[in-house]
Amino acid sequence: MSEIAQLMKQINELTRVVSSLGSPIPFNKVLWGREKLAEYFNCSVDTVDRLRKHEHFPKGRRRSFDSDRGGAMLWKAEEVVRFSDLFIFE
């Protein structure tokens, strides 16, 4: 599994758990730097940068760009998860 695919899987799992609790995603008020995010997901900073710039998405995912917040919008099943809703970057 590629590093991007692994990161996407972890983000989806995190989102699913938080959604099941019925509470807001817990990271939306936390400032996460690129290094901290890479450390949290055990991936490279380059992977974080590539995901943030949405240069690579798994097949079958549609993508769009939320220019106001500077984040990629990830579409899965019937719910929309904004990467920028999960993490606020430096």
Q: In whole angstroms, what is the distance from residue 74 CA to residue 90 CA?
A: 20
Q: What is the pTM of this model?
A: 0.36
| Beta strand pairing call for 88-89 and 31-32 | parallel
pLDDT in tens, 22-38: 544 444 434 456 677 67
Instruction: List C-alpha distances in Å: 58 to 3, 21, 51, 55, 73.
Output: 11, 27, 11, 10, 13
Dihedral angle computed from the Cα positions of residues 20, 45, 61 and 31, in that order, rounded to the nearest 10 degrees: 40
pLDDT in tens, 58-77: 444 444 444 344 444 443 33
Q: In whole angstroms, what is the distance from residue 44 CA to residue 19 CA?
A: 27
